[in-house]
Amino acid sequence: MALREIIILPDKRLRQVCEPVKTVDDQVRALMDDMAETMYDAPGVGLAASQIAVMKRVAVVDASRDEDEGERVKNPIFFANPEITWVSDEMAEYEEGCLSIPEFYELVERPAGCRVSYLDYKGKNREIECEGLMATVIQHEIDHLNGVLFIDHISKLKRDMVVKKFSKAKKRESAA
């Protein structure tokens, strides 16, 4: 396992649609392991492969809130080729953030529940029904795989301000 670099807005790769995984083999599992290590180190509750500049439909999520003597109990769920097959009519608002848009948080409204089909760590077809935080996180990560960022769900004014801020920071960094 290895920590991977998380790419930051305005990196254009964050806007690319990821390619499906043909099979979950050792190479994909190694990617999943690296993604989990990177997500926990960040720390975050989800990570899409596109956030580490790997354009494959792979995501890892751990929305569990369990702690054991002050330490987070790790319970990652690995997704290859995740697809939302159903969403609830009921909506829910959560304050979202993103490892690729550090230190910016905003309320986002999404379906309160969803069903997702995917291939698991071993390549088996699975389906999971999610609600609450887990539903929000998996929708956020699937958005990444489709080249969509959580800021696309907020007002154009706020989104433009965030993009401008990160673009300026990138220019300052490049000039240094």
4 has a pLDDT exceeding 80: yes
**pLDDT above 80: residue 69:** no
CB contact at 8 A, 109 and 91: yes
- What are the tens digits of pLDDT across the range 22-67? 999 999 999 999 999 999 999 999 999 999 999 999 999 999 876 5
List the domains of the chain with CATH numbers.
Answer: 12-175 (3.90.45.10)
Average pLDDT on 7-18 reads: 97
Question: Residue 92 and residue 114: Cα distance in Å, rounded?
Answer: 12
Confidence (pLDDT) at 175: 85
**For the residues 112-120, what does the mean pLDDT come to?**
98
Reported as a pLDDT band with limits 50, 70 and 90, residue 128 is very high
147, 7 in Cβ contact below 8 A? no
Dist CA 104 CA 158 (whole Å): 11
Q: What is the pLDDT of residue 33?
A: 98
pLDDT digits (tens, 9 = 90+) for 77-97: 999 999 999 999 999 999 999
pTM of the model: 0.94
* Residues tagged active-site: 141
Percentage of the chain modeled with pLDDT above 70: 97
Cβ neighbours for 138, distance < 8 A, ≥ 6 positions apart: 46, 59, 61, 79, 82, 84, 114, 116, 128, 130
